[in-house]
Each structure stands twice: as C-alpha cells, then as structure tokens.
C-alpha cells in the first residue's frame, strides 16, 4: 500500500514491423493477462507449488542474462502451463550454436523486444521544419525455447538452480532491506509508504502469522520507495482509488514478486482487493502491463543491486 503524499518460430526472430502489428501484439499479451486475472490467477504469482522448475527469474541459457519486464511474466506462464523443469531459454539459432537442436514439432514461446524506427513522412516533415525526426517505438517478436525442448545441449544448461536453503532466505532478505537504506518505521497494524517523508511504515514482525510475510510486505513497500524522485522517479501522486494509484500498486506488486523470486521466496498476492482496479487499467490501456512490468524490473534491479540489461527484453522505450 502507498499512502498518498497528502497523508502522508522455428527461427529466433519474428517480424518487427511485418507480421502481426505491434498494436495487436500489445493487445494479444494484455488479453492473456486479463484472462488470467479474471480466472483469479495472478500472472506474477504463479502456483509455484505445482511447478517443476524452481523459483527464480528466467534466463537466456547462452548468455546467462536474466530476462526482464513483460518477458518474465510470459516465460513464467510458459514454465507453469507446460510443466518445464527449467527457467533457461534459448533461441533456435542459439541452440544450434551450442551444438544442440530444438526437437521437431516443439512450439516456441513468443517474447518481445522494444525498438524504434523513423517513418518516411516523419523524416520528410523534420527535414522541412529543420527539426530532429521523432522515432516511433514498436515491438519485435522473438521465439525462444525452453532447454527442455532441446536435445544434445551441454549438460550444464539443463541443470536447475539449487534452491536457497530456508535458513538462508531470511538473512538475505534482511540484508536487502538493510542495504536499501530505506527509513523503516516499525509499529501499528498497517503497512504503507509515505512519499512526503520518504518513510516506510510496517507492523512489527511478531504481528505476522508467518515471518516470511513480513519480508513480502517490506518488498512491496520498497517497490513504492524506489519511485521517489531521488531514485527512479515514478509518479507517486495518485490518490487512493485513482488510476495512477492502481498503476503504482501494480508496479509495487510485480516488484515484490520479482524480488521474492530472486531470493527464493514464493511470491503471494499482498493486495488481492486491487485486482478489480488493475483489470480496469489493463482494459483501458493495452500497454499498461508492459509499462508496469518494465518499471517493476527496474525497481527490482535497483533493490537487488543489479545493473545488468536483460537479454532481448528491454522495454524502457515503450514504458516511457
């Protein structure tokens, strides 16, 4: 929760401007997310208990870079729905380059990458006006395959990441909170971030039935905290019930899920009562989930101390 400031293919690359349009790709992915929410399944809080793959962010097996933004949600969905035992992915060409191959008949998973181009008429307009031409953002689609869909790959690419021993999860969570430098105020029975004072209020740990929920709550509020002007500078001005408020809550929820997964903590829905407002935002704007997931990736990277770009998954231009 955030208190408002007054109260505190068989091939690896799909068509960019060809094939299905960028607009239809936005809608296709948004419709998929909406359908899951309407069924009561929150895409960033998958039923990991029945998953074969361990917790963690999906990675490109060739580069070992983590995917980011909307691609995390897409690939998590594929891991759950198709019961893949690994979070490692490759393009068709990368599999060949590693001495392996995608098995015949396997269906790939479409992920996206943002790019820009300058239309011909914009170039002409800018030339006539003496202005800089304005580039238009669009999505490229790429097809990736889980390593479980491939044969003859080096054995280490199939190895699942070792789950973090439970006794180590709490120290890592404590270290992340301490490293953030955020001003936590412990007390009361509510959790919220106050943009005006740049402080986080959370109930004491004994108030939580399960200690791990204390950390889930802290990560949610830290998600809001990253939006302060001195950090990632998101719009935190929305009052309760507004679209801006719902959008920021969506960012914080996904941020917490990304951070939890990185630490080996199973994500949960902290604010299920917001699902209705999230659905409204997504139905009105088919780019909203892309922006939210992109902002959440940047927030999670900020908290985890990671500055590595994700493989083929940077949607910063689209999210601006």
In a domain, 168, yes or no: yes
Establish if 16 belongs to a structural domain.
Answer: no
Domain that holds residue 282: 22-319
182 occurs within a structural domain: yes
Q: Would you tell me how many other CB atoms lie within 10 Å of the CB of residue 238?
A: 17
The verdict on residue 291 lying in a domain is yes
For the chain, the residue count is 320
Q: Write down the pLDDT at residue 319.
A: 34
Measured CA distances, 241 to 77, 183, 248, 269, 293 (Å): 29, 26, 11, 19, 21
Distance CA 60, CA 146 (A): 9
Q: Give the number of other Cβ atoms within 10 Å of residue 137's Cβ.
A: 16
**CB burial class (10 A; 0-12, 13-18, 19+) of residue 233?**
exposed
pLDDT at 138 (0 to 100): 76
The answer to the question of residue 5 being in a domain is: no
Buried b (16+ CB within 10 A) or exposed e, 240-254: eeeeebbbbbbbbbb
Asked if residue 7 is part of any domain, the answer here is no
Which pLDDT value is given to residue 47? Answer: 59
Number of domains the chain is built from: 1
Give the pLDDT confidence score for residue 166 in this predicted structure. Answer: 59
Does 180 reside within a domain? yes
User: d(Cα 112, Cα 22) in Å, to the nearest integer?
Assistant: 10
Longest pairwise C-alpha distance within the chain: 68
Q: What is the pLDDT of residue 89?
A: 97
Is residue 2 within 8 Å of residue 248, measured between CB atoms? yes
pLDDT in 10s for each residue of the chain, 320 residues = 655 543 333 333 333 444 445 558 888 889 989 988 888 778 787 656 656 777 789 999 999 999 999 999 999 989 988 999 999 999 999 999 999 999 999 999 999 987 788 888 878 887 888 888 888 777 888 999 999 999 999 998 887 666 656 555 778 899 999 999 999 999 998 999 999 999 999 999 889 888 888 999 999 999 999 999 999 999 998 888 888 999 999 999 999 999 998 888 888 876 566 788 889 999 999 999 999 999 999 999 999 985 334 333 333 333 33
- Name the token pair of 290: 């892309």
Name the residue among 252, 49, 265 with its Cα closest to residue 173: 265
Would residue 2 count as lying in a domain?
no
């Amino acid at each position: 929760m955030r208190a408002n400031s007054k109260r505190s293919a068989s091939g690896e690359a799909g068509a960019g401007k060809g094939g299905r349009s960028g607009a239809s790709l936005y809608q296709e992915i948004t419709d998929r997310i909406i359908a899951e929410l309407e069924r009561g399944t929150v895409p960033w809080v998958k039923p990991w208990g029945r998953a074969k793959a361990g917790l963690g962010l999906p990675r490109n097996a060739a580069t070992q870079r983590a995917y980011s933004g909307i691609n995390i949600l897409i690939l998590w969905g594929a891991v759950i729905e198709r019961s893949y035992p690994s979070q490692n992915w490759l393009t068709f060409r990368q599999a060949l380059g590693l001495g392996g191959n995608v098995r015949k008949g396997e269906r790939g998973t479409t992920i996206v990458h943002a790019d820009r181009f300058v239309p011909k008429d914009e170039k002409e307009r800018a030339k006539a006006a003496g202005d800089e031409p304005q580039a238009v953002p669009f999505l490229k689609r790429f097809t990736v395959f889980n390593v479980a869909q491939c044969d003859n790959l080096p054995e280490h690419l199939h190895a699942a990441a070792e789950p973090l021993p439970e006794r180590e999860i709490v120290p890592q969570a404590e270290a992340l909170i301490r490293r953030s430098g955020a001003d936590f105020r412990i007390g009361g029975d509510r959790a919220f971030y106050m943009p005006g004072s740049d402080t986080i209020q959370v109930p004491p740990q004994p108030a939580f039935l399960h200690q791990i929920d204390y950390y889930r709550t802290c990560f949610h509020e830290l998600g809001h905290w990253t939006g302060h002007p001195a950090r990632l500078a998101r719009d935190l001005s929305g009052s309760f019930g507004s679209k801006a408020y719902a959008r920021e809550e969506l960012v914080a929820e996904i941020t917490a899920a990304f951070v939890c997964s990185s630490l080996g903590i199973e994500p949960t829905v902290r604010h299920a009562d917001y699902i209705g407002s999230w659905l409204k935002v997504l139905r009105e704007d088919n780019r909203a989930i892309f922006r939210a997931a992109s902002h959440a990736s940047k927030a999670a990277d900020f908290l985890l101390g990671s500055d590595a770009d994700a493989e083929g998954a940077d949607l910063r231009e689209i999210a601006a």
